[in-house]
Homo-oligomer: A and B are copies of this chain.
Amino acid sequence: MTLNQNTFTGEYSYALDAKGRVNIPAKFRNVLTADNDQSFVITRGMDPCVWVYPIIVWQSIEDELRKLSSLSQVNRSFVRSTVRYASSVQYDKQGRIAVSSNLIQYADLGKEVLILGMVNKIEIWNPDILDSVDKQSQKIDSSQFDELANQIIL
C-alpha cells in the first residue's frame, strides 16, 4: 500500500472496553513509521473529542513549545493549556491504547466510539456528540469556506 506515512483517513467504529482501552485501526497502525515506536500522544481535542498524534508529529509541537520563554505570562499559559492533558501511550500486542479516565470524561465516551482519520492525527468521538457538532457546523456560512479557499486547494 502506498499511502502517505503517518497520515490517516476514514471513519471506524470501535469498542472502548471496561479498562478504557480502544483499538487503533489496523490501517492506521500500518502507516505509522517505525520511529514512532508504536506510540502516540493522546490529548484533549479542540472539539469535545480526543486527539491522538503519532509521537513523531507531537515532538515537533513540543520543540516549538520549548522555544517559548517562561518569562512571558502568555507563553506560560499557552504551554500549560497545550500540554496539560497530553500523555504518551504505546499500543499493546493487540493494537490497543489506554485512554485515561480524564479524557474519557472530557469527550464523554461510552462503549461505542468513532475513530476518525484527520490527516496528521486521529480523533476519537462519542458518535452522538459528533453528530450534533456536525449539524451545528453545517450552519457555518459558506463565506468562511471561501476564506479557506485561499489557503488550500481541494
Q: Hey, what's the 0/1 contact readout for A62-92 against B, CB within 8 Å counting as 1?
A: 1011101011011111111111111110100
Q: Hey, what's the 0/1 contact readout for A143-154 against B, CB within 8 Å counting as 1?
A: 011001101111
Verify if A131 is at the interface (C-beta below 8 Å from B): no
A-B contacts, 17 listed (Cβ < 8 Å): A1-B88, A2-B35, A2-B55, A3-B39, A3-B55, A4-B62, A9-B41, A27-B88, A57-B154, A61-B152, A64-B151, A66-B120, A75-B148, A77-B141, A77-B145, A79-B118, A80-B118
> How many Å lie between the Cα of A145 and that of B81 in the bound state?
10
> How many Å lie between the Cα of A39 and that of B27 in the bound state?
14
Number of interface residues of A (CB under 8 A): 68
Is A83 touching B154 in the complex (CB atoms < 8 A)? no
> How many Å lie between the Cα of A141 and that of B70 in the bound state?
15
